[in-house]
Structure 1
Amino acid sequence: MGAHVSRTDFEWSTSDEPHASRRKEILEKYPQIKKLFGSDPNFKWIVSVMITVQMAMIFIVPRFPWPLVIGLAYCFGGVINHSLMLAIHEISHNLAFGHARPMANRILGMIANLPIGIPFSVSFKKYHLEHHRYQGDENLDADIPTSLEAKLFCTTFGKVVWMFLQPLFYAFRPLFVRPLPPSMLEIINVIIQLSFDFTVFYFLGTKALVYLLAGSLLAMGVHPVAGHFISEHYMFAKGFETYSYYGPLNWITFNVGYHNEHHDFPSVPGSRLPQVKAIAPEYYENLPHHNSWVKVLYDFITDPAIGPYARVKRRSKVSKEE
Structure 2
Amino acid sequence: MGKHAARQDFEWVYDDQPHTTRRREILAKYPEIKSLMGPDPHLKWIVSGMVLAQLVACYLVQHLSWKWVIFWAYAFGGCINHSLTLAIHDISHNVAFGNKQARWNRWFAIFANLPIGLPYSASFKKYHIDHHRYLGGDGLDVDVPTDAEGWFFCTPLRKLLWLFLQPLFYALRPLVVNPKPVSSLEALNAVVQFVVDFVLFYLWGLKPIVYLIAGSILCMGLHPISGHFVAEHYMFLKGHETYSYYGPLNLITFNVGYHMEHHDFPSIPGSKLPLVKKIAAEFYDTLPQHTSWIHVLWDFVFDDSIGPYARIKRQYKVVKQD
Normalising to structure 1: TM-score of the pair?
A: 0.98
The answer to whether the 8 Å contact 1:139/1:316 transfers is no
- After superposition, where does 1:5-16 map in structure 2 within 5 Å? 5-16=5-16
Q: Secondary structure at the match of 1:232?
A: helix
Determine what percentage of the aligned residue pairs are the same residue.
Answer: 60
Q: Aligned equivalents of 1:140 and 1:106: distance in 2? A: 22
1:305 aligns with 2:305: yes
Structure 1: tracts of 5 or more residues without a match: none
1:252 corresponds to: 252
Instruction: Spell out the pairing of 1:126-141 with structure 2 (5 A cutoff).
Output: 126-141=126-141
Q: For residue 12 of structure 2, give the secondary structure of its aligned residue in structure 1.
A: strand
The CA deviation at 1:72 is 0.4
Measure the CA separation in 2 of the matches of 1:6 and 1:196: 47
CA contact (8 A) 1:88 1:109 kept: yes
Q: One-letter code of the match for 1:257?
A: G
Alpha-carbon shift at residue 3 of structure 1 (Å): 2.9
Where does 1:58-207 land on structure 2 (aligned, <5 Å)? 58-207=58-207
Q: What's 1:317 paired with?
A: 317
Count residues in correspondence: 322
**Is the 1:6–1:303 Cα contact (8 Å) retained in structure 2?**
no
Q: Report SS of the residue matched to 1:229.
A: helix
> Distance between the aligned counterparts of 2:97 and 2:15, measured in 1?
35
Q: Quote how far apart the aligned CAs of 1:233 are.
A: 0.1
Q: Which residue of 2 aligns with 1:41?
A: 41
Matching residue's letter, 2:135: Q
1:264 matched to which residue of 2?
Answer: 264
Is this contact kept in 2: 1:231–1:244, CA < 8 A?
A: yes
Of residues 187-196 and 198-207 in structure 1, the stretch that sits farther from structure 2 once superposed is 198-207
Cα RMSD (Å) of the superposition? 1.0
Could you tell me how far apart the structure 1 residues matched to 2:319 and 2:35 are? Answer: 36
Rounded Cα–Cα distance in structure 2 between residues aligned with 1:199 and 1:46: 24
1:196 maps to a residue whose letter is: V
Query: Distance in 1 between the 2:82 and 2:5 partners?
Result: 30
Is the 8 Å Cα contact of residues 232 and 244 (structure 1) preserved in structure 2? yes
Q: In the alignment, residue 57 of structure 2 is paired with which amino acid?
A: M
Structure 1 letter corresponding to 2:217? L
CA distance in 1, matches of 2:4, 2:174: 29
Whichever residue aligns with residue 278 of structure 1, its letter is K
Aligned counterparts of 1:249 and 1:7: Cα–Cα separation in 2: 30
CA contact (8 A) 1:3 1:157 kept: no
Structure 1 residue 66: Cα displacement: 1.0
Q: Is the 1:165–1:221 Cα contact (8 Å) retained in structure 2?
A: yes
Which residue of the partner structure matches residue 287 of structure 2? 287
How far off its partner does 1:4 sit?
3.0
CA contact (8 A) 1:23 1:265 kept: yes
Alignment deviations for residues 261-309 of structure 1 (CA, whole Å, 9 cap, x no partner): 0000001100000000100111101111011111111110110000000
Note the alpha carbon deviations across 1:120-155, whole angstroms, 9 max, x for none: 101111100110000011011010000011111111
Instruction: State the alpha-carbon separation in 2 of the partners of residues 224 and 81 from structure 1.
Output: 14
| Structure 2 portions without partners, runs of 5+ | none
Deviations 1:233-276 (A, max 9, x none): 00001100000011100000000000000000001100000000
Which runs of at least 4 in structure 1 moved beyond 6 Å after TM superposition? none
2:5–2:306 CA contact under 8 A, matched in 1: no
CA-CA distance at 1:182 after TM superposition: 1.2
Deviation at 1:93, TM superposition (A): 0.1
| Secondary structure, counterpart of 2:132 in structure 1 | helix
Contact 1:139-1:320 at 8 Å conserved across structures: no
CA drift at 1:315: 1.8
Give the Cα–Cα distance (whole angstroms) in 2 for the partners of residues 52 and 195 of structure 1.
17
**What amino acid is aligned across from residue 103 of structure 1 in structure 2?**
R
Q: Is the contact made by 1:228 and 1:257 (CA closer than 8 Å) also made in structure 2?
A: yes
CA distance in 2, matches of 1:3, 1:62: 44
Given the alignment of the two structures, is residue 219 of structure 1 paired with residue 216 of structure 2, yes or no? no
Deviation of 1:320 (Å): 4.4
Q: Please state whether the residue corresponding to 2:24 is helix, strand or coil.
A: helix
How far apart are 1:65 and its partner, in Å? 1.0
